[in-house]
Structure 1
């Protein structure tokens, strides 16, 4: 699905095999789904009616005990209505655990500036906050699906939350050894306080935090790139790493492409079997020399990246920050990004969150949400704009997904308009991923009934409300004062600030207090 999951589709007939029997699915009439915001075309940019025999694989079958005659997509049988929905009722995206957009927005607001709307990615705001999803015992995901009414438009609109969680972190001692190649930006722009000095401090902290059986290499780049420390098993060699870090000094221009290429070459040369091999890029991503396009940069190291399974972790720094380039590099480099603005952020990323930032529990993870056309009239995925996957590629394991580590949670929020008097099945959410070692595929699913929607968003669980406030805040920053394009149920910034204040008190969560402070700062700027 594309940005707005609000569809209009003529009648189609498809044959699907479900539960060993041939099920005829006929979508009757025209389901007029008007866009929540601009655009009403198929936002994938492809037609879901394919005549070459390679059409979409069916979504996981689901059933609803309630039979409702006359509804499109309905199949009557002894066990009630059981069907796979039309492709127009599918939403498919690659998982994303990035949080850099939110971190950079907070830094920008603290500096007295409103963030550029192009840097606002709502899913990264939402995924910056802890959720209380049940976690699986082993590798893979648990799936939680819930929702609440927003109280708008006679109660027809709801927020639906799809929560995916990996196993809890086992502790640093339980993870596989790591082989980390740090690629450090030492260009002139990194001379500003809070850039290279923060990067050096972070590297020193992480070096002390890593285990003896971990390995570290160090690559620097300005106008050219240089390997200043080959892959080195820490053991008794931590002093060598600290000495190399201490020698880092800002130089001239920013040839980020050369840095990435040399970094991957160094990582490949020092590749360790049975270890997590990762490139850690620390930069303000303000590339101005050599290749400055993410596709071109990663194309040059594609073989090393895919063949050897080397993933990229991007750490952004600086008040001026190349957010778009860093995010594209991480997405296309099978990794994720975060942003650090001070030593406290750095300690959290390089110490407290160390296992989830260097270990992997799932590769090429994708989610697909199938909405029931008998109960759902319109829906819209909030964010994940550049993480969309064609619906038919959900089970094509050659298609890139997202990489997720232990202790991560991924939250996707949908604005959903239900049909009048809707009851029974509302949606099925499925996640598919590859085992990081064997590459074998796995799936898990969860379901939501219309009757399970909470009556009021603002009396639902605290963590659901935190996700909603984060999403509405991102929407307000991205849409500005144009209320016509805002999400259903959105509140003015002053009301969002009050909600965030209450949640900060009830959760006693420092991160939620920081969210309330950021909203208060933005509110003051909008007056």
Structure 2
């Protein structure tokens, strides 16, 4: 990472541990001139690797017959993990395990709501999706799988630091080298989609994709309102682009929203048109405001899950509209082992259909999980910021029957922890391990990285490297918005929103990154609405 002038980047270490030979990746969909290098992560090579048999699950460093007595002034009782919501003391547990998540819809929808002069519903705020909405600077591995980077910085709250676990995958293949893709677009044409920025945006996005895909790719289109209709069966694009454009242009808003009918028909079409050796995916484009048919996700979950298990068909959700049922879409996509994004304008649509969707169609890793082991000799307590619906039982980290997350090429995943160090802490603080299955052979692999106390205390987070500051700023903004609903403790070291807005504005100037400038705008809008 390259720190700004007059500041130091947070320190950490990276090292690798691979448990089996890495096999080849799957399929990359590359429209819009995508060359596989558009990482929302870093570009440097990975650290060293070694082969071997699976090791036992990460555990805290040996501490004698019981948790050691802390240095003078610390708490004698181990505290372990906190989730920011429990009113009583958490269990004495120094492991944190979660499935990887690269969704960003929560942040996108919050930005749209703030821009409309309203505060988002706290229930829609998922801090990990704020944190994962920004480009990072993690080194990429030289092969498939992940690099692991662990770094940190202190906060201004006594003994509390922020620790960032960064995971990155290698960039994808060129468009000419990838296998073909078979995509079934399930398009909401209900009356609620008539609002500007909904169906018109969807049509433009589909036209863009049609022009950029390869001739041997295939698409199908299902439209739904009160009922679902197959507008285009699975069709190879070579020689048929004009036909696809005509179908897209005829998509017009009609009646009520029967998401159940649309998703069921979409999966029927995807299964019927499934192509061997291709990436098979359903893409749902909707505001998810179901008002007919099944209006909860429950009845659809088994259909989506069965298609994933039996046919390998996954789900990508694209949310649109000022009124958007975030929770409904999130449940559907989680069961489909896919991802959600939110789109509110042409620029975001181009990013989603030219960068995000291609990067998340080819897989670098299946069922990816992370486990962080904290050393009780130096750590009094810790808290994972977000990932509430992605947590995994610690004992299931190496249980490959338990679902994890799917991650594509050139992508990064960030988890931010608040860590309370014991007074006088020195030496090892934590080891982060990521485990995933090879996309084709499903062989398990692991990589690890570690951090020591000095890397968490040397520099204040507001003086750390720019990308670390962006991560912290996004997390603090999410915490402030989430906390309005009660039952959520502020992230330790939080600063007033006015000050956070100043930090974000300075970061936008320094990085010249339009996404960081949008973060600064959202932070300023939140500060104005809240105070």
TM-score between the two structures when normalised by the length of structure 1: 0.84
Secondary structure at 2:373's aligned position in 1? strand
In structure 2, C-alpha distance between the alignment counterparts of 1:212 and 1:456, rounded to whole Å: 52
Contact 2:78-2:381 at 8 Å conserved across structures: no
| Paired position in structure 2 for 1:513 | 517
| Paired position in structure 2 for 1:104 | 109
Q: Select which of 451, 471, 476 maps to 1:472.
A: 476
Secondary structure at 1:173's aligned position in 2? coil
Deviations 1:427-452 (A, max 9, x none): 01011111111111111111111122
In structure 2, C-alpha distance between the alignment counterparts of 1:513 and 1:430, rounded to whole Å: 33
Residue 394 (structure 2) pairs with residue 365 (structure 1): no
Instruction: Give 1:460 shift.
Output: 1.1
In structure 1, C-alpha distance between the alignment counterparts of 2:79 and 2:142, rounded to whole Å: 43
| Paired position in structure 1 for 2:253 | 250
Deviations 1:188-220 (A, max 9, x none): 111111111111111001111111111101111
CA-based RMSD of the aligned residues comes to: 2.2
For residues 176-325 of structure 1, the aligned pairs below 5 Å read 176-325=179-328
In structure 1, C-alpha distance between the alignment counterparts of 2:305 and 2:85, rounded to whole Å: 36
Q: Select which of 118, 121, 133 maps to 1:128.
A: 133
Structure 1 unmatched ranges of 5 or more: 1-15, 49-85
Structure 2 unmatched ranges of 5 or more: 1-54, 69-76
Secondary structure at 2:369's aligned position in 1? strand
Deviations 1:206-262 (A, max 9, x none): 111111111101111111111111111111111111111111111211111121111
Q: Which has the higher contact order (CA 8 A, sep 6+)?
A: 2
Secondary structure at 2:172's aligned position in 1? coil
Instruction: Give 1:270 shift.
Output: 0.9
Instruction: Give 1:31 shift.
Output: 2.0
Contact 2:85-2:488 at 8 Å conserved across structures: no
In structure 2, C-alpha distance between the alignment counterparts of 1:256 and 1:346, rounded to whole Å: 22
For residues 16-165 of structure 1, the aligned pairs below 5 Å read 26-28=65-67, 30-32=77-79, 37-39=84-86, 88-153=93-158, 156-165=159-168
In structure 2, C-alpha distance between the alignment counterparts of 1:32 and 1:207, rounded to whole Å: 54
Deviations 1:444-502 (A, max 9, x none): 11111112223211111110000000000111111139899211111111000000011
In structure 1, C-alpha distance between the alignment counterparts of 2:175 and 2:57, rounded to whole Å: 44
| Paired position in structure 1 for 2:414 | 411
Question: CA 1:91–1:483 in structure 2 vs 1: closer, same or farther (change >3 Å)?
Answer: closer
Contact 2:81-2:382 at 8 Å conserved across structures: no
In structure 1, C-alpha distance between the alignment counterparts of 2:504 and 2:63, rounded to whole Å: 48
Contact 1:142-1:166 at 8 Å conserved across structures: yes
Contact 2:371-2:434 at 8 Å conserved across structures: yes
In structure 1, C-alpha distance between the alignment counterparts of 2:124 and 2:486, rounded to whole Å: 18
Which segment drifts farther, 175-184 or 28-37? 28-37
Question: CA 1:95–1:108 in structure 2 vs 1: closer, same or farther (change >3 Å)?
Answer: same
| Paired position in structure 1 for 2:173 | 170
Contact 1:150-1:489 at 8 Å conserved across structures: yes
Instruction: Give 1:171 shift.
Output: 3.6
In structure 1, C-alpha distance between the alignment counterparts of 2:321 and 2:238, rounded to whole Å: 32
| Paired position in structure 1 for 2:332 | 329
In structure 1, C-alpha distance between the alignment counterparts of 2:329 and 2:243, rounded to whole Å: 29
| Paired position in structure 2 for 1:59 | none
In structure 2, C-alpha distance between the alignment counterparts of 1:18 and 1:198, rounded to whole Å: 47
| Paired position in structure 2 for 1:523 | 527
Question: CA 1:291–1:271 in structure 2 vs 1: closer, same or farther (change >3 Å)?
Answer: same
Question: CA 1:387–1:430 in structure 2 vs 1: closer, same or farther (change >3 Å)?
Answer: same
In structure 2, C-alpha distance between the alignment counterparts of 1:299 and 1:316, rounded to whole Å: 22
Contact 2:63-2:376 at 8 Å conserved across structures: no
Instruction: Give 1:357 shift.
Output: 3.1
Q: Select which of 432, 437, 455 maps to 1:434.
A: 437
Question: CA 1:143–1:32 in structure 2 vs 1: closer, same or farther (change >3 Å)?
Answer: closer
In structure 2, C-alpha distance between the alignment counterparts of 1:526 and 1:394, rounded to whole Å: 40
Contact 1:432-1:444 at 8 Å conserved across structures: yes
Contact 1:220-1:228 at 8 Å conserved across structures: yes
TM-score between the two structures when normalised by the length of structure 2: 0.84
Question: CA 1:158–1:28 in structure 2 vs 1: closer, same or farther (change >3 Å)?
Answer: closer
Contact 1:314-1:338 at 8 Å conserved across structures: yes
Question: CA 1:481–1:220 in structure 2 vs 1: closer, same or farther (change >3 Å)?
Answer: closer
Secondary structure at 1:118's aligned position in 2? helix
| Paired position in structure 2 for 1:341 | 344
Q: Select which of 471, 492, 497 maps to 1:488.
A: 492
Contact 2:304-2:332 at 8 Å conserved across structures: no
Residue 463 (structure 2) pairs with residue 459 (structure 1): yes
Deviations 1:376-406 (A, max 9, x none): 0010000001111111111111101111111
Contact 2:108-2:343 at 8 Å conserved across structures: yes
Which segment drifts farther, 298-307 or 361-370? 298-307
Question: CA 1:38–1:96 in structure 2 vs 1: closer, same or farther (change >3 Å)?
Answer: closer
Contact 1:198-1:343 at 8 Å conserved across structures: yes
* Displacement over 6 Å in runs of 4+: 16-19, 481-484
Residue 396 (structure 2) pairs with residue 393 (structure 1): yes
In structure 2, C-alpha distance between the alignment counterparts of 1:279 and 1:219, rounded to whole Å: 10
Instruction: Give 1:169 shift.
Output: 3.3
